[in-house]
Amino acid sequence: MIEYKNIVPWGRSYTEYVSMFNLTPEFLSNKVLGCGDGPAAFNSVATAFGSNVTSIDPIYDLSQKDIEKRINETFGDVISQTKLNLDKFKWDQFGSLEGLGKIRMKSMKQFLNDYEQGKEEGRYIAASLPEIPFENNTFDLVLSSHFLLLYSDHLDLEFHFKAIDEMLRVGKELRIFPIVDLNSNPSPYIQPILDKYNQSELVNVNYEFQIGGNQMMVIRRNEQ
């Protein structure tokens, strides 16, 4: 069983984001907000491709050096817990636990190399859900990677509702991935969220690392 005391900094690659969220090339012309991106490489690479991406995460309140320290402190724990739960994952993409570690660290180093410049440009902003420091309708697309639903044991349903309401306030469409929890079980909040938001659906994606974790939730704002 995988169990973390806190939400850990763990960064995915740009390619993973594209697969996890079914991002087509047209997204590069949209204004995108990543909520809880942490030390992911998505913002860095998307910006290099000419996209308009802003990321928020409470970890951005820290310096580059302190984030790197946090990554190094938690890296071993994440790898160790993954090693004890190999059967919960599909390894065709990464090949091995060592391969996973190398790809994750490469992505996080891409983030670290971009972090100071990104802070100056306003692409990395320290903020914590369920509050987002932007005006209504600022973004075309909002992404939540490995935060909502994944940490169902840490974040209750009311938190999810508040966070989703806030993300739909600032963006036209929200995509959440994955919809399983840390132990690859479907989040208990899936159906209550689908019931609450009538412009919502589950969509298959071409990405599966956690077994059964090959769907995202899409929620669109009701236009009045």
pLDDT at 4: 45
Residues of the chain with pLDDT > 90, as a percent, come to: 73
pLDDT tens-digit readout, 30-86: 999 999 999 999 999 999 999 999 999 999 999 999 999 999 888 888 888 888 888
* Backbone dihedral angles phi then psi of residue 178, each to the nearest 5 degrees: -85, 180
CA angle centred on 1, ends 18 and 69, rounded to 5°: 60
- Tell me which of 74 and 124 has the higher pLDDT: 124
* Backbone dihedral angles phi then psi of residue 8, each to the nearest 5 degrees: -100, 145
Average pLDDT over residues 144-166: 95
Burial pattern 182-196, b for ≥16 Cβ within 10 A else e, equals: bebebbebbeebeee
| Tokens coding 113 | 């190399």
pLDDT at 113: 98
pLDDT at 93: 87
Please state, as a whole number, how many other Cβ atoms lie within 10 Å of the Cβ of residue 98. Answer: 10
Does position 126 have pLDDT exceeding 80, yes or no? yes
Across the chain, what does the average pLDDT equal?
A: 92
Residue 176 burial (10 A CB sphere; 0-12, 13-18, 19+): buried
- Which pTM was predicted? 0.92
pLDDT tens-digit readout, 80-108: 888 888 888 899 888 898 988 899 999 99
* Sheet of strand 52-56, all strands in order from the earlier edge strand to the far edge: 124-125, 52-56, 31-35, 139-145, 171-177, 215-220, 200-204
Helix/strand number for the chain, H first, E second: 6, 7
pLDDT at 1: 53
- Helices marked H in the chain — which ranges? 14-20, 42-48, 64-83, 97-120, 157-170, 190-196
pLDDT tens-digit readout, 13-35: 999 999 999 999 888 889 999 99
- For the chain, domains (ranges, CATH) are 22-220 (3.40.50.150)
Does position 2 have pLDDT exceeding 70, yes or no? no
Average pLDDT over residues 5-12: 69
Band of pLDDT at residue 6, cut at 50, 70 and 90: low
pLDDT at 83: 87
Band of pLDDT at residue 183, cut at 50, 70 and 90: confident
pLDDT tens-digit readout, 106-120: 999 999 999 999 999
